[in-house]
């Protein structure tokens, strides 16, 4: 995956938007590479400052490749920033596009108080026929 570059929304994106919608788009930090566009906004939470990453493929196709989402987080933040993907209650569901959301702790030393505690990464699945794990792409880390 190629590195991300800072970007700006084209003016056409703002046509037909309310002032509130346009202000939200202007508040985003936008980044693009050959495959993805990522908009980042700040949100306060019980965990302190979170960075909301809204991720879309440039071709608008679906994604859900965990390793690519992890790589995007590492490229735009760092390998030591922790992030989550939330599957919300139906009453809070927003599903308008092939768009994915990660919530990143702004403090790279902070951890969520849930999850797994130890690192375990398999690259070749140790020749186990019951596991299909693709190799890592070369990563670009900040």
pLDDT in tens, 36-75: 999 999 999 999 999 999 999 999 999 888 899 999 999 9
pLDDT-above-70 percentage for the chain: 89
pTM: 0.83
Report how far apart, in Å, the C-alpha atoms of 109 and of each of 54, 76, 121, 139, 141 are.
22, 16, 21, 21, 17
Domain-wise residue ranges, the chain: 5-127
Other Cβ atoms less than 10 A from the Cβ of 131: the count is 10
Work out whether strand 5-7 and strand 29-32 pair parallel, antiparallel, or are unpaired. Answer: antiparallel
pLDDT in tens, 82-139: 999 999 999 999 888 889 999 999 999 999 998 888 888 776 656 677 777 766 666 4
Do residues 88 and 57 lie in contact, with contact meaning Cβ atoms separated by under 8 Å? no
Backbone angles phi, psi at 12, to 5 degrees: -60, -30
Cβ burial of 73 (10 Å; 0-12, 13-18, 19+) is buried
Query: Half-sphere exposure of 128 toward its Cβ, with a 13 Å CA cutoff?
Result: 10
């Amino acid at each position: 995956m190629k590195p991300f570059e800072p970007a700006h929304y084209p003016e056409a994106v703002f046509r037909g938007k309310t002032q509130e919608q346009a202000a939200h788009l202007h508040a985003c930090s936008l980044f693009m590479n050959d495959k993805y566009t990522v908009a980042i906004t700040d949100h306060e939470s019980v965990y302190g400052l979170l960075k909301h990453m809204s991720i879309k493929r440039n071709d608008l196709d679906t994604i859900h490749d965990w390793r690519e989402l992890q790589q995007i987080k590492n490229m735009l933040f760092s390998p030591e920033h922790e992030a989550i993907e939330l599957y919300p209650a139906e009453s809070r569901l927003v599903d308008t596009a092939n768009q994915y959301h990660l919530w990143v702790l702004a403090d790279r030393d902070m951890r969520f108080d849930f999850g797994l505690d130890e690192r375990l990464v398999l690259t070749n699945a140790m020749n186990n026929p019951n596991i299909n794990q693709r190799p890592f792409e070369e990563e670009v880390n900040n």
